[in-house]
Amino acid sequence: MKAILALADGRIFEGTSFGAQGEADGEVVFNTSMTGYQEVLTDPSYYGQMVVMTYPLIGNYGVNSEDFESDRPHLSAFIIKELSTIPSNWRSQGTLHDFLAKHGIIGIQGIDTRALTRHIRNTGAQQAVISTKPTDRQKLVAQANRLPSLEGRDLVKEVTCKEPYEWCEGEWELNNGETFFKSAPRIPSNYFIVAYDFGIKRNILRKLVQAGCRIKVVPASMPAKDVLAMNPSGIFLSNGPGDPAAVKYALKNVKYLVGKIPIFGICLGHQILSLALGARTYKLKFGHHGGNQPVINLKTSRVEITAQNHGFAVDAASLSSDCDITSTNLNDNTIEGIRHKSLPILSIQYHPEASPGPHDSSHLFKEFTELIDTNK
């Protein structure tokens, strides 16, 4: 079926639909990962966004629930060059088309994703509408123009868990042709971590378990006093969607926790922690989304290739003198990590858990536990 992608600035792309039918809207961003579309689809940080994959062929290994980063897809729509209709992988449990249709997500294929990506790089991420209905194109453009920006929007409330839960799965590995998860009893749990769920990815939790942590995940709005009453060894602040400055309740909680307990933040958690320390955040032109972002450690000069997924960043000029900038992005010099000079606080903008992406930065989970050890 024919499908239309209409950008707010009037640019139109024609293709054919897959997955669900109807209309969808959201901010268009591009992801440069060559693999890992399942992880992208189920990453809660993409809530409210339409994702363009720059790799030309998507769907060739189907879908399987073991690779999901949450229990469902969270993006508004999926935009690709070509859909593979016949998956070829022994772990596949179904096709990408059927998966998206089941969850009501519209996909569009057959468009020039290179041209779309270049357009977004030149003009910035913008709102858009995808429709499979016979609709006037200019009406779709007008509809896209009426959509709200992500700035000022609290999207964490849309993806956070409703009730606290414990997590005990470690990293997965292949053994005798089957995928299985290491259970907590096989890994000594020397640290009790409370993880604020702003849209947390499962592989972050697996990495924390692998580092020797026992995890309790709590809703984003849980009062800090209730969290401290659990007597945790440390606090983890997760990734998530939307504008960090709009998540007022999380900012209030983190301000209360600062100085009382070791804290580690990733992505949105890094931004909220920076805001709690007095910094400001701002929206990037088109964000960082993909598995090939170069980050330099300013202390060691070592460069790590990282997985990233964010549309906002911390303003370096606003950062308190109490914090050191530990790493920056070699593409645009934006802040990628901070560490407090006197308090047990560490945060990073990128994703050391990968999924998808490189594993250069997985050592940071151990750095968190070492931070806890030095604070005992």
Encode pLDDT of 229-270 as tens digits: 999 999 999 999 999 999 999 999 999 999 999 999 999 999
Beta bridge partners of 329: 295
What's residue 176's pLDDT?
52
Mean pLDDT of the chain: 95
Q: Is 223 helix (H, G, I), strand (E, B) or coil?
A: coil
Report, as residue numbers or ranges, the catalytic residues: 267, 351, 353
Confirm if 32 and 54 have CB atoms less than 8 A apart.
yes
pLDDT tens by residue, 8-64:
999 999 999 999 999 999 999 999 999 999 999 999 999 999 999 999 999 999 999
Confirm if 52 and 117 have CB atoms less than 8 A apart.
yes
Report the C-alpha gap between 193 and 232 in whole angstroms. 6
CA distances from 47 to 60, 254, 363 (A): 24, 23, 28
What's residue 304's pLDDT?
97
Single pTM value for the model: 0.95
Ranges of CATH 3.50.30.20 domains, the chain? 2-145
CB environment 241-268: b (16+ within 10 A), e (fewer): bbbbbbbeebbebbbebbeebbbbbbbb
pLDDT tens by residue, 82-105:
999 999 999 999 999 999 999 999
Q: Above pLDDT 90, what percent of the chain? A: 91
Would strands 281-297 and 303-314 be described as parallel, antiparallel, or unpaired? Answer: antiparallel
Instruction: Summarize the confidence of residues 101-119 as an average pLDDT.
Output: 98
What's residue 169's pLDDT?
86
The answer to whether residue 320 scores a pLDDT higher than 80 is: yes
- Cβ neighbours, 10 Å, residue 148: 10
Contact residues for 55 (Cβ-Cβ < 8 A; gap 6+): 32, 33, 34, 35
Of 241, 267, 271, 272, which Cα lies nearest the Cα of 254?
A: 272
Instruction: Summarize the confidence of residues 288-304 as an average pLDDT.
Output: 97
Confirm if 106 and 130 have CB atoms less than 8 A apart.
yes
Instruction: Summarize the confidence of residues 352-361 as an average pLDDT.
Output: 94
Q: Is 362 helix (H, G, I), strand (E, B) or coil?
A: coil
Ranges of CATH 3.40.50.880 domains, the chain? 156-374
Query: Domain 2-145: which CATH class?
Result: alpha beta
Q: What is the CATH number of domain 156-374?
A: 3.40.50.880
pLDDT tens by residue, 130-165:
999 988 999 999 999 999 999 999 999 999 999 999
Report the C-alpha gap between 269 and 182 in whole angstroms. 27
The answer to whether residue 347 scores a pLDDT higher than 80 is: yes
What's residue 180's pLDDT?
53
